[in-house]
């Protein structure tokens, strides 16, 4: 071979080697970057080239993949009772991406998860169409429907938990929306309308909104008092003056009604009447550090993944003494999601053991083979069993003799706590109506519920939590317990 031909051959060999290196670099090192590039639509088209797996509630799918045989998209997502389940499923849109379980479980639902490799390979060899796997939720269809129907046209949220396991039985946010209206590639008008709606129907109030919890937080304060030895019995008398002046100020703290007999009330009577003065002084006497420590045992200041991440509920790290007094009655800087408030009741009902809340029970392939199964785990020991028993007695008394009478269920032990949380500049906005509760049947069934109704009452002299939120919680508890 003469020299010019040899040089050309070597040059061509170098080009081939360079091409091989570049190809391997693109396919190996840069594969993920190219795949996730916003301008690469191939993966998006592939996601809708075959049926998507389903999200399962009580053994039945609440989603579908409809064959539309479009130019780029062969299938389109649809939902059964979309507005009712939107806070659980989220949306999956050809144009606007996805959120909620549709996003977090996309690998399973779309069939691209590495754990489905064997199934996908077998389908390819047998000529079967690729299929996504299913996500089985903990949601109880009857409980979800009861919560959604009870909320009606009210703005707010409901969360129901199994206290023994942490399973989320209901997750409702209203007003809601139908994810099917934005599932396609040309739903711009619907997308704009939803995002410009002042009621924000796409927001998940159950997990993403933090509210002042109002008097429901008095459960945390009472727990801290018992755990720190301030009181031994629910019938112990508190040293509560009337009026109670916030520490370091000249400001008297008011109770909700002038008819409340809160001066030197017992712990039980103070919770029955929901005395602000009793629990504000209790929190101030305990101090911010002890109050914060107890709140954190319930989950405040922690990230809660269900796996959909809940907004962090907050008990402040620093506050003046008067601020701590107000924080201890769920005002000032204290903020909580409805999930967090349900967790407080769940821990009390479960003898002090707080279980990690979870929404996904299992993932499975299209052939129904289980890929993963949730393992229940304790989040914390929020209080001793002895304190939990006292707190249960207090909450039962609230329902039997106090502000929570609207939650009574014949033949079922029910404990609860109302809340009317002030907010807005100078507390000028309509208050939030809260109710948190648990219920137990003689055969051992149990459920914990939290309800918040925004703009719940224009009657500031009424206990709007007991009047508006408690009946909703009652309906949810009845559905959960078959009553």
Cα–Cα distance for residue pair 411/398, rounded to 1 Å: 17
Can the peptide bond before residue 307 be classed as cis, meaning omega within 30 degrees of 0? yes
Place of tokens 């909703």: 472
Angle at 24 between CA 15 and CA 107, to 5 degrees: 155
Place of tokens 């996601």: 47
Helix, strand, or coil here: 479? helix
Cα–Cα distance for residue pair 340/304, rounded to 1 Å: 9
Q: Specify whether the backbone of 128 is left (phi greater than 0), alpha (psi in -120 to 50) or beta.
A: beta
Q: Quick one: how far is CA 22 from the chain centroid?
A: 47
Cα–Cα distance for residue pair 434/473, rounded to 1 Å: 10
Cα–Cα distance for residue pair 246/229, rounded to 1 Å: 23
Place of tokens 């109770």: 255
User: How does DSSP classify residue 358?
Assistant: B
Q: Which of 215, 328, 397, 446 is catalytic?
A: 215
Cα–Cα distance for residue pair 415/272, rounded to 1 Å: 11
Q: Quick one: how far is CA 5 from the chain centroid?
A: 72
Select from 84, 193, 88, 174 the least CA-distant residue to 454: 174
* Number of neighbours of residue 249 by Cβ within 10 angstroms: 12
Cα–Cα distance for residue pair 474/112, rounded to 1 Å: 42
Cα–Cα distance for residue pair 208/204, rounded to 1 Å: 5
Cα–Cα distance for residue pair 183/238, rounded to 1 Å: 57
The string of DSSP letters for 303-345 reads -EESSSEEPPPB--S---HHHHHHHTTT-TT-BB-HHHHHHHH
215 is catalytic: yes
Burial of 441 (0-12, 13-18, 19+ CB in 10 A): middle
Per-residue burial over 117-135, b if 16 or more Cβ lie within 10 Å, else e, is eebbeebeeeeeebbbbbb
Cα–Cα distance for residue pair 371/100, rounded to 1 Å: 20
Select from 195, 202, 206 the least CA-distant residue to 178: 202
User: How does DSSP classify residue 41?
Assistant: -
Enumerate the active-site residues.
215
């Amino acid at each position: 071979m003469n020299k010019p031909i040899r040089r050309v051959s070597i040059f061509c060999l170098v080009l081939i080697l360079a091409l091989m290196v570049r190809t391997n670099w693109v396919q190996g090192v840069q594969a993920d970057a190219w795949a996730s590039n916003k301008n690469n639509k191939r993966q998006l088209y592939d996601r809708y080239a075959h049926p998507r797996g389903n999200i399962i509630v009580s053994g039945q799918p609440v989603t579908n993949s409809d064959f539309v045989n479009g130019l780029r998209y062969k299938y389109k997502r649809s939902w059964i009772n979309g507005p009712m389940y939107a806070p659980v499923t989220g949306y999956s849109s050809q144009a606007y991406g996805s959120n909620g379980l549709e996003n977090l479980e996309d690998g399973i639902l779309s069939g691209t998860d590495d754990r489905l490799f064997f199934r996908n390979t077998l389908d390819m060899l047998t000529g079967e169409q690729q299929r996504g796997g299913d996500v089985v939720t903990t949601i109880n269809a009857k409980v979800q429907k009861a919560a959604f129907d009870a909320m009606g046209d009210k703005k707010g949220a409901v969360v129901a938990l199994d206290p023994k396991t942490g399973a989320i039985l209901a997750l409702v946010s209203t007003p809601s929306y139908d994810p099917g209206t934005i599932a396609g590639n040309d739903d711009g008008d619907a997308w704009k309308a939803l995002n410009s709606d002042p009621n924000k129907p796409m927001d998940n109030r159950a997990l993403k909104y933090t509210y002042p919890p109002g008097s429901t937080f008095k459960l945390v304060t009472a727990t801290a008092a018992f755990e720190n030895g301030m009181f031994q019995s629910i019938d112990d008398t508190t040293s509560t003056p009337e009026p109670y002046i916030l520490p370091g100020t000249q400001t008297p703290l008011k109770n909700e009604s002038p008819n409340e007999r809160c001066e030197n009330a017992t712990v039980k009577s103070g919770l029955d009447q929901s005395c602000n003065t009793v629990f504000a002084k209790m929190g101030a006497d305990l101090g911010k550090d002890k109050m914060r420590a107890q709140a954190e045992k319930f989950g405040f200041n922690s990230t809660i993944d269900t796996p959909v991440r809940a907004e962090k509920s907050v008990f402040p790290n620093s506050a003046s003494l008067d601020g701590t007094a107000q924080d201890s009655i769920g005002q000032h800087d204290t903020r909580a999601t409805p999930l967090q408030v349900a967790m407080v009741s769940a821990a009390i009902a479960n003898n002090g053991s707080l279980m990690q809340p979870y929404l996904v029970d299992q993932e499975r392939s299209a052939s129904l083979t289980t890929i993963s199964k949730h393992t229940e785990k304790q989040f914390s020991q929020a209080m001793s069993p002895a304190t939990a028993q006292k707190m249960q007695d207090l909450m039962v008394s609230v329902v039997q003799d106090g502000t929570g009478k609207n939650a009574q269920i014949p033949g079922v032990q029910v404990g609860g706590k109302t809340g009317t949380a002030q907010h807005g500049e100078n507390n000028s906005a309509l208050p939030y109506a809260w109710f948190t509760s648990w219920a137990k049947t003689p055969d051992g069934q149990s459920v914990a519920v939290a309800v918040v109704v925004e703009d719940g009452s224009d009657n500031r002299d009424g206990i709007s939590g007991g009047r508006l939120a408690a009946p909703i919680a009652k309906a949810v508890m009845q559905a959960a317990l078959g009553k």
